[in-house]
């Protein structure tokens, strides 16, 4: 009787220790070792997930030992890992060049190119290199597709630009909201 009770208790404690939740942390990098800010880390078959900070670091609490996590970012191949300990992870994502042609980043998320119902305008890096613009607004002037109007009311070098996207001008401020690296800003690069 004693041995049976001992075996049952030992089995219970072994099952309990195997199902403990752990906290995992790590860093997500590209193939060159540079951090990837904003990468998604999701625990498969659960509602738990997080994103990496500016330095590519993340912390995910309450993950079951043996759970599988998926690490993804636009333009990179999704990687899946099985969590076996709470050691800090270093995850390197490989570029997926084929996926970049299929994805369009829009103001409210990302969509596949075939699902975008609006107009999409592309200004290539080669075009910008030929122009040698002083700032980002000047780079868009005369190169973007229909629907975008870039004008310089003063005409002076370094002057402000007015940018209208499919809209009519008014006496109020109706310029686009410019967000660069997560910060509200403008088109001036200096």
Beta 89-92 vs 21-29: how paired, if at all? parallel
pLDDT band at 68 (very low <50, low <70, confident <90, very high): very high
pLDDT of residue 190: 47
pLDDT of residue 130: 75
For the beta carbon of residue 56, count every other beta carbon within 10 angstroms: 20
Reported for 159-163, long-range contacts at CB under 8 A and 24+ positions apart, including other chains, are: 161/135, 161/137, 161/187, 163/137, 163/187
pLDDT band at 161 (very low <50, low <70, confident <90, very high): confident
As beta bridge partners, residue 57 has 27
Q: Is the pLDDT of residue 87 over 60?
A: yes
pLDDT 10s digits, 163-185 = 777 666 666 666 677 666 667 77
Residues in Cβ contact with 31 at an 8 Å cutoff, skipping those fewer than 6 apart = 92, 93, 94, 95
Show the domains of the chain with their CATH numbers. 2-97 (2.60.40.1120), 125-185 (no CATH)
Query: Of 3-17, 51-65, 84-98, 148-162, where does mean pLDDT reach its minimum?
Result: 3-17
Q: Do residues 164 and 148 lie in contact, with contact meaning Cβ atoms separated by under 8 Å?
A: yes
3-state secondary structure of 14: helix
Judged on CB neighbours under 10 Å (0-12, 13-18, 19+), 36 is: buried
Per the listing, tokens 């099952």 go with 15
pLDDT band at 35 (very low <50, low <70, confident <90, very high): very high
pLDDT of residue 56: 92
Residues in Cβ contact with 94 at an 8 Å cutoff, skipping those fewer than 6 apart = 31, 76, 77
Mean pLDDT over each residue of the chain, to the nearest integer: 75
pLDDT 10s digits, 91-125 = 999 988 765 555 566 666 666 666 776 666 666 66
Q: Is the pLDDT of residue 28 over 70?
A: yes
Cα distances (Å, whole numbers) of residue 6 to 2, 11, 13, 15, 16: 6, 9, 11, 14, 15
């Amino acid at each position: 009787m004693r041995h049976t009770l001992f075996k049952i208790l030992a089995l219970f404690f072994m099952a309990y220790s195997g199902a403990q939740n752990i906290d995992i942390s790590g860093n997500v990098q590209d193939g060159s070792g540079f951090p990837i800010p904003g990468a998604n880390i999701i625990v498969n078959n659960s509602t738990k997930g997080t994103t990496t900070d500016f330095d590519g670091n993340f912390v995910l609490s309450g993950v079951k030992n043996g759970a599988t996590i998926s690490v993804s970012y636009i333009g990179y191949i999704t990687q899946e890992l099985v969590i076996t300990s709470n050691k800090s992870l270093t995850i390197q994502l490989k570029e997926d060049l084929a996926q970049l042609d299929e994805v369009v980043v829009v103001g409210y998320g990302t969509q596949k190119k075939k699902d975008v119902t609006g107009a999409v305008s592309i200004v290539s890096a080669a075009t910008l290199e030929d122009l040698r613009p002083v700032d980002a607004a000047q780079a868009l002037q005369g190169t973007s597709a229909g629907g975008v109007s870039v004008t310089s009311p003063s005409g002076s070098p370094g002057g402000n630009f007015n940018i209208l996207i499919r809209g009519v001008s008014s006496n109020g401020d109706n310029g686009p909201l410019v967000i660069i690296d997560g910060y509200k800003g403008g088109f001036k690069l200096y």
